[in-house]
Structure 1
Amino acid sequence: MENEPMAPGDQAPAGTPGTGENVCPQCEGSGEVDGKTCPTCEGSGTVIEGIGGG
């Protein structure tokens, strides 16, 4: 999974410490927008984002 290319909505590559999967904010997890593949998550329905901390 670490060698997978990043989707446009990803903030970091998969497996990066301090990150995790979240539901794509554009397609709300469906993988589609207006009947087409979501451009933000590239159809996966998830994006990699930073988690908590501070």
Structure 2
Amino acid sequence: MSVTPSSGTPGKPENHLKPGDEALAGTPGTGEDLCPDCSGSGKLRDGTECPTCEGSGRITQGIGGG
């Protein structure tokens, strides 16, 4: 049996919304992007964990127009 690594925040359920997310991962019309507050590093300038992406460096946001 193989295990696929999770792309979510460690210790959080897969359907967990981070503060910077606009929707749950996998929601139609959304995509993963780098966190705008930490530029994808997961850390702020002072070295603390980014609260927007909860240290993952990624957020889920709406894509396209409408």
TM-score (norm 1): 0.89
**Structure 1 vs Structure 2 CA RMSD:** 1.6
Larger Rg: 2
Of structures 1 and 2, the one with the larger relative CO (CA 8 A, separation 6+) is 1
Partner SS, residue 36 of structure 1: coil
How many matched pairs? 54
Higher strand share: 1
Q: Segments of 4+ in structure 1 off by > 6 A?
A: none
TM-score (norm 2): 0.74
In structure 1, runs of 5+ residues without a counterpart are none
Identity of aligned residues (%): 61
